[in-house]
């Protein structure tokens, strides 16, 4: 789509264990400029497809 993380305007993070939030947040934050970081929501869920621990959805625009 010829976009970068600079084009991201919103992310949704679904995690199995909220105890992993700090570690996820550190890695997530390394991809964005703090002053221009997109809106974000983080939600703990009971189960994710294929039994993964995290799923991240992003919306980007040009």
Q: What is the pTM of this model?
A: 0.87
List the structure tokens of 39.
């809106």
CATH number at residue 47: 3.30.1330.40
Is residue 48 within 8 Å of 14, Cβ to Cβ? yes
Given this model, what pLDDT does residue 42 score?
A: 97
Q: Is the dihedral of CA 34, 38, 42, 2 positive or negative?
A: negative
Is the pLDDT score of 58 beyond 90? yes
Given this model, what pLDDT does residue 1 score?
A: 85
Q: What is the pLDDT of residues 9-55, one digit of tens each?
A: 999 999 999 999 999 999 999 999 989 999 999 999 999 999 999 99
> Whose CA is closest to 17, among 35, 42, 38, 41?
42
Total domains, the chain: 1
Residue ranges making up the domain that contains 56: 5-60
């Amino acid at each position: 789509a010829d976009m970068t993380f600079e084009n991201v305007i919103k992310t949704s993070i679904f995690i199995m264990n909220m105890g992993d939030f700090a570690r996820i947040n550190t890695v997530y934050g390394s991809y964005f400029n703090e002053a221009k970081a997109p809106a974000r929501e983080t939600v703990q869920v009971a189960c994710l497809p294929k039994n993964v621990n995290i799923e991240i959805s992003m919306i980007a625009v040009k």
